[in-house]
Structures are given as C-alpha cells and as structure tokens.
Structure 1
Amino acid sequence: MSDTTRENELVCVGAIAGAFGVRGEVRLKSFCADPEAIADYAPLSTEDGSRQFTVSLTRAITNAFAARMSGIDTKEEADALKGLRLYAPRNRLPALPDDEYYHADLIGLLVVDTGGNELGRVKAVMDHGAGDLLEITVPGNSSILLPFTMEAVPTVDIEAGRIVADPPEGLF
C-alpha cells in the first residue's frame, strides 16, 4: 500500500453507544490512546463518508463521554445513531512510534511462523483488558487467539504485509 493511499485511509476512532439525556447528546466511546483526543480529529465521518460530524465533548461519564454532535439536536436523533462507528482520516492522527500500530494496519496481514510457514491471516485485534490478542483465521475457517506480545509476535512488517509469529507450543 502506498503512503498516499494510507494517508487518505480512514481509521475507526470511536463509536456512539446511544443517547445521553434528552437534549440530543450522545454517549461516545473513544478508541483513542488519549480518549479526549477524539474531538481533535473531527470532523468525524461514517465509514462510507456519507455523513460528517463535528464533536464537542461535554463531560466524562462511565466508560465514555457525553458529547454533542453537529446536526443532532434531539434524543431521538441521538438514539438513531446507536452503534455508529466514527472514522477520521489517518493524516489527522498522530504518528506512532516504531513498535506501535493502528489496529486497522494489522487486519488482513499474513501470519507466518519463524520458519516462514503460513499460519493464517489477522482477522481482528481484541483487547479484553489484559493486553491485545490477535484473532487469526487459519485454514478451515477456524480462529486462534495469539497474544500480541514481543515474545509471541517478534516481527510486524506492515510494508511487507506480514507478521512473524513465535506462538506458544501447541497453539497452532
């Protein structure tokens, strides 16, 4: 993928979990390393780009923010957005250090073992609180969860489109 293509690529930065109150505010979940930074990346758009929103965080609430979104003035309009994922162009996001990656960059990468044997492809990146896990689709359409640690995943080569894994014995 060229740098130009990557610059224009959209990255999911948050999602709307429903209405907050009765005056059109939404419950906004941020997927950003600095959760409050989500408002700095606005305008945010839907994945297909059909709608764009400016965002104003009004206060922190449990596991989210109460926020005002442009064009959303009623509880009913806010409720209608429940589940909507919000995206920002990559070029508005901060550059990452060499050992950090946007989840979107990992999806679809080929996973090989340290001997070069193909293990599968990254289907998803999950974080259940104890560290990231890579969900890898293996031949036969089953999935394996691999800890995303330096020990289990010593090499991530975004440019080459592959990950070298050294999985725990018996995982694959």
Structure 2
Amino acid sequence: MQLVVARIGRAHGVKGEVTVEVRTDEPELRLAPGAVLATDPAAAGPLTIETGRVHSGRLLLRFAGVADRTAAEALRNTLLIAEVDPEELPEEEDEYYDHQLMDLDVVTADGVEVGRITEISHLPSQDLFIVERPDGSEVMIPFVSEIVAEIDLEEQRAVITPPPGLIDDRAEIVSSREESPRGESGDAS
C-alpha cells in the first residue's frame, strides 16, 4: 500500500536541497537517507533521499541526482509516497493512517448520522475530515480531540461532539454585551 509522506516545497540554497511539508508521524523512518520514494506525478521519481536535516524548524532533503537549485525547484509540489505494509499500524495508540479513516461513518455522540469521510485534508494547523453528507453536500470537521471523541475502526465509525453550527445551521449566537434596562445609562436625565 502507498502512503503520502511529504510534499516537496521550494528549493533551499543552490545545492539542490528542498523544504518538505511532512505528512507522516514517522519522518525519521519514512524520510531517512537511503529511502526510495515514489512520486506524484510519477514522472518526477522515484527519488532516493541522500541527506536530511532540520533548519529553522523545517525539514530539508537532498535527493540523489538533484544537484542544483533549478533541479530542486522543478520538484516543487511533488508528493513523496512510501510503500507501506497494509498490516502495519502507527506506533502511537491514537494515531491513524489516512487509509484507516477513509470511508468511516461519522455520527454524533447521540447517534445522529452526519455522513462518510471521503477525504482527509492536511493543513499546517490541523487535519480536517471532509465528510460527504447523505444529501451530497460536504462538511469539514477538524480532526481534534475536542470534536472527534472516538475512532472505532472495528465499527468503522468516527464519533463526534460538534460545537453548535459546525454541522448544522442552528448556531447559538451569544452576545458579550449585557443589555441594560432603559434609564440606567448613568446620565442624570
């Protein structure tokens, strides 16, 4: 099975290094020197990692055969794909691979059907479930513990506790201003 483990960003310096947006919880395993990764688009690869280092909080990689900035920049936005045993599970208990979450039924804690996960969007701040509702519309649900209460792989469902307005139009609007009764404004009329 293939998993997207990173997306190549811009070139860094003049010797062929690139920044990467890491999409794996195991970069030391998947993005280690010597790793051979497939690519999307396929014509860009396969790529073999020569070196890797962290610079200013970003992972920088250099690939075999990519020796200058021009060649590095040509790889921008290429997805790096690792071949993974389908039986392999993440090391941490509350971690999941995208393929484990795809097609899970999404229900609220009180059993209301929300829809089915059709995509997982990896953003810098958090991951989002893209959920297709029974009527064909989509809703985005942040994959954070405050909202996603449980992932049950055996039952093939994700249980959520959404805040008002996330999955429906009945948002509670609360004003921070307290209304004062007439005549108590403090002026001496």
Indicate yes or no: 2:38 matched with 1:42. no
Q: Paired residue for 2:50? A: 56
Structure 1 unaligned segments of length 5 or more: list them: 1-8
Q: 1:23 to 1:98 in 2, by over 3 A?
A: closer
Distance 2:58 2:80 in 1: 14
1:156 has 2:151 as partner: yes
Superposed CA RMSD in Å reads: 3.0
Amino acid at match of 1:95: P
SS for the counterpart of 1:154 is strand
Question: Is 1:25 aligned to residue 33 of structure 2?
Answer: no
Give, in whole Å, the separation in 1 of the partners of 2:24 and 2:166. Answer: 31
> Does 1:66 find its partner at 2:60?
yes
Task: State the secondary structure of the residue aligned to 2:148.
Answer: coil
Considering only CA atoms, is the larger Rg found in Structure 1 or Structure 2?
2
Higher helix residue share: 1
> Compared with structure 1, are the counterparts of its residues 36 and 49 closer, same or farther at alpha carbon in structure 2 (3 Å cutoff)?
same
TM-score (norm: length of structure 1): 0.73
Higher relative contact order (CA 8 A, sep 6+): 1
The share of aligned pairs that are identical, in percent, is 29
Segments of 4+ in structure 1 off by > 4 A? 47-50, 125-128
Asked whether the equivalents of residues 25 and 68 of structure 1 are also in contact (C-alpha less than 8 Å), the reply is: yes
CA distance in structure 2 between the aligned counterparts of 1:48 and 1:24, rounded to whole angstroms: 19
Distance in structure 2 (CA, Å) of the matches to 1:21 and 1:57: 14
**Normalising to structure 2: TM-score of the pair?**
0.67
> For the Cα contact (< 8 Å) 1:146–1:167, is it kept in 2?
no
Number of corresponding residues: 162
> What's the counterpart of residue 121 of structure 1?
116
The 2-side partners of 1:168 and 1:58 are apart by 41
